[in-house]
């Protein structure tokens, strides 16, 4: 067990234990199968692992639900698609609606308020993923008893670190609330600008707390570094994925969570394309609706699949603009010796570096007098019939494309979500796990646990929908060369494991 340093005195009030014990995020309502995931491991005639695939039970027909709505309704409607990153959905949609409504360039204050919302979302979401979902794996051990590997167990063993995680999440929520006046961001951005200015008192309160969040994030990186030092081979190589990398970067080559142009690198770090405007994404990305998933158009579905998200962002960019986070980025990537890191566990380190970066960006914005301005709406120009909104959501690049009719209602829309962008990368990671832990005869609890760890590293929307106290409803099936399910285990939301093969 680690001997954790005691953090400085808290400015924010403590969180009651009963609050910690509730599910980390609202997510959609749970039916019998909602929010569950299913992994199939297909064997060849020799009993060797041939193919592994994660089947996420997506909410189908989302685009259809949006079609026919007025453009003013879209930014608020899409925020309800995800319980973990509603701000990112909201801002991607409103960026597209800006252009459709005829607004080209926002006022400086409006853009800074939107960026502040997005950075608060990054802090909140990364804190949930790291401290509520991944921390049990990292601190209690990948091989610890699953029933005793939950958030409450972490809170008992590492109360200081658990409390810091909860309070960082709350800080991110408070950033969003200060701008919108509520938990959901729908009251925040509107086509062409923002609804309300940031109250000075709210700015002052956030400024008083943000340095503490930066210190906590920097301290957590040292804890993660010490964990890595206990078994470098294990943290470096499990669930390696390879594949290409995709992210938004700004004009300087730095990561830009709110805006930028698309850049892709291959698995060796070579640039495949750069400075592609979001509106032209269909020229470089193919998005088939069937199996195979999105891929780089020039490389095709077999070799063109790619990763998005924190680890991809930190390796696609040239730098981070905040001083402490850039130092930590270089430190995290050093083991790769100039080549991209492939181990899935590195996602957690990248996520923590991004949390630190977002907190530093929040501090810098809070020190900017222009943030308190009242000029919130841009001048309006000619409307457009089609537009694309893009943003770096906590889970990765999120693209939303809309077409409208003459009445200003959505005629067609396409949502290219972060989890879907990562679908082939998650399959590749699970292929590596199965190759190492599957004996070709049955699904064991050890195999199930390692598959869960690999999935959690990517933080797919599955976690959002179903994660509670570190438990993730998931079934794993072993299928022989004839197509018969020969073994299977299912972990329920209560953490219990049962057979999922019909006799």
Alpha-carbon gap, residue 209 to 193, rounded angstroms: 27
The answer to whether the annotation marks 63 as part of a ligand binding site is yes
466 HSE (CA, 13 A, CB side): 29
Tokens 């925040």 correspond to 188
Q: 319: Cβ–Cβ under 8 A, 6 or more apart, which residues?
A: 252, 253, 254, 326, 329
The answer to whether the annotation marks 354 as part of a ligand binding site is no
Rounded to 5 degrees, what are φ and ψ at 68? 95, -10
Alpha-carbon gap, residue 279 to 276, rounded angstroms: 8
Alpha-carbon gap, residue 460 to 465, rounded angstroms: 9
Closest to 359 in 3D by CA, of 119, 125, 164, 8: 119
Alpha-carbon gap, residue 112 to 109, rounded angstroms: 5
40 HSE (CA, 13 A, CB side): 13
Report H helices in 102-260.
108-127, 135-140, 151-157, 159-180, 200-230, 232-236
One-letter-per-residue 3-state SS of 88-116 = HHHHHHHHHHHHHHCECCCCHHHHHHHHH
Alpha-carbon gap, residue 396 to 237, rounded angstroms: 22
Alpha-carbon gap, residue 309 to 395, rounded angstroms: 5
Edge-to-edge order in the sheet of strand 474-479: 49-56, 37-43, 474-479, 485-491, 497-499
Number of residues that make up the chain: 503
Closest to 453 in 3D by CA, of 17, 149, 123: 149
Angle at 437 between CA 432 and CA 441, to 5 degrees: 115
The answer to whether the annotation marks 467 as part of a ligand binding site is yes
- Secondary structure letter of residue 131 according to DSSP: I
Cβ contacts of 168-171, under 8 Å, gap ≥ 24: 168/123, 168/127, 168/131, 168/213, 168/216, 168/217, 168/355, 169/123, 169/124, 169/127, 169/128, 169/131, 169/132, 170/12, 170/15, 171/12, 171/120, 171/123, 171/124, 171/206, 171/209, 171/210, 171/213
How many whole angstroms from its chain centre is CA 495?
A: 23
At 337, list the tokens. Answer: 């010796």
The answer to whether the annotation marks 60 as part of a ligand binding site is no
Distances in Å between the alpha carbon of 368 and those of 98, 119, 124? Answer: 24, 15, 22
Task: Pick out the residues of the known binding site for Mg(2+).
Answer: 63, 415, 467
Task: Pick out the residues of the known binding site for Ni(2+).
Answer: 82, 85, 461
Task: Pick out the residues of the known binding site.
Answer: 63, 82, 85, 415, 461, 464, 467
Task: Pick out the residues of the known binding site for Fe cation.
Answer: 85, 464
């Amino acid at each position: 067990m680690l001997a954790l340093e005691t953090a400085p005195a808290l400015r924010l009030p403590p969180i009651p234990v009963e609050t910690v014990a509730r599910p980390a995020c609202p997510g959609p309502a749970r039916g019998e199968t909602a929010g569950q995931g299913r992994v199939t491991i297909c064997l060849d005639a020799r009993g060797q692992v041939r193919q592994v695939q994660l089947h996420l039970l997506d909410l189908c027909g989302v685009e259809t639900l949006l079609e026919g709505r007025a453009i003013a309704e879209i930014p608020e409607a899409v925020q309800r698609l995800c319980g973990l990153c509603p701000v990112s959905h909201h801002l991607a949609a409103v960026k597209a609606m800006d252009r459709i409504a005829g607004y080209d360039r926002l006022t400086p204050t409006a853009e800074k308020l939107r960026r502040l919302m997005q950075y608060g979302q990054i802090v909140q979401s990364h804190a949930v993923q790291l401290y509520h979902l991944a921390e049990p794996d990292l601190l209690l051990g990948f091989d610890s008893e699953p029933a005793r590997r939950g958030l409450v167990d972490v809170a008992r063993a590492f109360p200081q670190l658990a409390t810091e995680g909860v309070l960082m999440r709350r800080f991110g929520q408070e950033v969003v609330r200060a701008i919108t006046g509520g938990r959901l961001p729908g009251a925040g951005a509107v086509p062409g600008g923002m609804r309300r200015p940031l109250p000075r008192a709210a700015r002052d309160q956030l400024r008083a707390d943000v340095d503490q969040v930066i210190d906590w994030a920097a301290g957590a990186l040292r804890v993660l570094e010490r964990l890595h030092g206990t078994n470098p081979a294990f943290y470096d190589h499990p669930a390696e994925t390879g594949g290409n990398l995709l992210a938004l970067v700004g004009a300087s080559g730095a990561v830009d969570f709110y805006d930028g142009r698309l850049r892709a690198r291959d698995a060796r770090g070579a640039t495949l394309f750069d400075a592609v405007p979001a509106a032209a994404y269909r020229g470089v990305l193919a998005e088939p609706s069937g199996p195979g998933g999105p891929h780089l158009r020039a490389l095709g579905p077999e070799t063109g699949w790619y990763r998005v998200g924190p680890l991809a962002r930190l390796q696609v960019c040239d730098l981070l603009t905040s001083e402490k986070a850039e130092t930590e980025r270089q430190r995290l990537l050093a083991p790769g010796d100039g080549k991209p890191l492939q181990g899935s566990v590195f996602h957690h380190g990248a996520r923590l570096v991004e949390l630190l970066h977002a907190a530093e960006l929040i501090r810098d914005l809070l020190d900017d007098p222009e943030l308190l301005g009242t000029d919130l709406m841009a001048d309006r120009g000619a409307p457009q019939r089609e537009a694309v909104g893009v943003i770096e959501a906590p889970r990765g690049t999120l693209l939303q494309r809309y077409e409208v009719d003459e009445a200003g209602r959505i005629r067609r829309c396409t949502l290219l979500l972060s989890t879907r962008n990562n679908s082939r990368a998650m399959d590749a990671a699970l292929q590596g796990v199965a190759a190492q832990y599957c004996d070709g005869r049955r699904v064991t609890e050890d195999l199930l646990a390692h598959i869960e760890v690999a999935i959690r590293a990517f933080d797919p929307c599955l976690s959002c929908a179903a994660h509670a106290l570190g438990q993730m409803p998931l079934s794993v099936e072993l299928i022989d060369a004839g197509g018969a399910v020969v073994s299977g285990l299912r972990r329920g939301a209560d953490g219990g494991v049962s057979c999922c093969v019909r006799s």
